[in-house]
Amino acid sequence: MNLLIELLAFAVAIGVLVVVHEYGHYSVARLCGVKVLRFSIGFGKPLFQWVSPKTGTEWTIAALPLGGYVKMLDERETGGAPIPVEALPHAFNRQSVWRRFAIVVAGPVANFLLAIVLFALVFATGVTEPAAVVAVPAPNTPAALAGFDGGETIVAVRAENAGESGHVRSWSDLRWKLLGAAFDHKRVVLSAKDAHGTSDFQLDLRGIAEKDVDDDFMSRLGFEPGGGKLTVAGVQPGSAAQQAGLAVGDRLRAVDGVPTDNATAFIAYVKSHAGVPVTLQVERGGQAAGKLEEVRIVPQSQRDDATGQQIGRIGAELATQVPSIDVRYGPVESLQLGARRTWDLAVYSVRMFGRMIVGEASLKNLSGPVTIADYAGKSARLGPSAFLSFLALVSISLGVLNLLPIPVLDGGHLLYYLVEAVTGKVVSDRWQLVFQRAGLACIVALSAIALFNDLARLIHF
């Protein structure tokens, strides 16, 4: 059943993204007076064909659905057959350089516009997200050095010495604001509320390297969702947890006297205490609120496969229930936020790709169709908001990828047109052929790496 959901979600995602991208090319070509011969979803043998009596365009659904194309009237692609004189003004190659530029760039732009609309829908319809409550930060992290103790609710972020603050509505909102500040190497001031009122905390992000801005970015800063309940969800037989008497349903309140409400920080503490006794404060199921028991436990020392070092494990499965908030925006604000989120993700994608080229980021970040199908299925099972957000993310990735200055992609053609606009000369067919072969080699290499990463994630090698 899960496989069927993944395949259906993948088919819907690819179908929507391809149609939108190619329709961007098609619509601007029609506006520029260019005759479109074929609009194809997929490649290979046609499964369905229909010719519009009004425009003469052949609409096709082909057997291989991983992409699509718009074929326009072009003197260079007739195989030597002459084009009627009256049709020449409608040929793509007869258009001005700026019209050709507009037709080609319309595909990626359509993907960005789709992402804006999808994000706006998510923001307008509302989504449940973790509240911006901070867990107890790990020692010596930027959050701890800024003065956070855990339990504070962050309500605003502003740049140091700047006037207007950006309101923080959720954990996701906080993450994006800190991500932008880290990219810009800023010092920011976080306004946070606790039982004693509202206080300001200065956070220095000037020393954050771009290579550190990844999925673990917030954890590196010492920020984890907090304010919730950390409970034992399972105990492995023969483990240190079982020997110490931990049971399913136990709520962990503190470790060695330090309050804990986040699984990540708790696990990190246990890992660093291999073979060293730790004391847990536990609230048992059925006990009155606030009545705690102390449980002494010695984490078993095990070798970490990733680092080769000895780490501590207690053999307990943990569950974190953090406070959540329903986030909903008005129509205008939703569009503004959708545009801002699309811009931020596009810039992040470009920077990440640049870091991979210079070796500052791992090529393991590249994903192929298998990973996309997996995430499509997972997001579809989480609900409409998650799937629309996933669709917007992939649409942005497709738009950015097509704008890269690689021949055979839209960005490669745009580069040709920019050279033509500056020099007044068309790039020769000979050089275009050379660049096209080089571009094709780049695409094949990227596809091979992405497929390898897919297989590595699938079979864990």
**Could you list the active site residues?**
22
Spell out the long-range contacts of 291-297 with Cβ–Cβ below 8 A and sequence spacing 24 or more.
Answer: 292/253, 295/244, 295/245, 295/246, 296/244, 297/240, 297/241, 297/243, 297/244, 297/246
- Which residue, among 339, 394, 325, 338, has the nearest Cα to 121 in the 3D structure? 338
Q: Do the bridges between strand 166-167 and strand 197-204 make them parallel or antiparallel, or are there none, so unpaired?
A: unpaired
Secondary structure of residue 218 in the 3-state scheme: helix
| Cβ atoms 298, 241 nearer than 8 A | no
Q: Where does residue 442 fall: left (phi above 0), alpha (psi -120 to 50 degrees), or beta otherwise? A: alpha
Residue 358, CA distances (Å) to 185, 354, 412 in order: 20, 6, 20
Return d(Cα 332, Cα 176) in angstroms, integer: 20
N-terminal to C-terminal alpha carbon distance within the chain: 26
- Which residue, among 251, 255, 253, has the nearest Cα to 271 in the 3D structure? 255
| Cβ atoms 346, 112 nearer than 8 A | yes
Q: Where does residue 287 fall: left (phi above 0), alpha (psi -120 to 50 degrees), or beta otherwise? A: beta
Return d(Cα 113, Cα 396) in angstroms, integer: 9
Return d(Cα 297, Cα 270) in angstroms, integer: 10
Residue 409, CA distances (Å) to 276, 296, 425 in order: 57, 61, 21
Residue 57, CA distances (Å) to 26, 72, 83, 134 in order: 10, 9, 16, 57
Return d(Cα 217, Cα 181) in angstroms, integer: 12
Q: Token digits for 226? A: 């907090």
Output the DSSP codes for 358-427: HTSS-GGG---HHHHHHHHHHHHHH-HHHHHHHHHHHHHHHHHHHHSS-TTSHHHHHHHHHHHHHHSSPP
Q: Token digits for 446? A: 């990227």
| Cβ atoms 217, 180 nearer than 8 A | no
Residues 6+ apart with CB under 8 A from 53: none
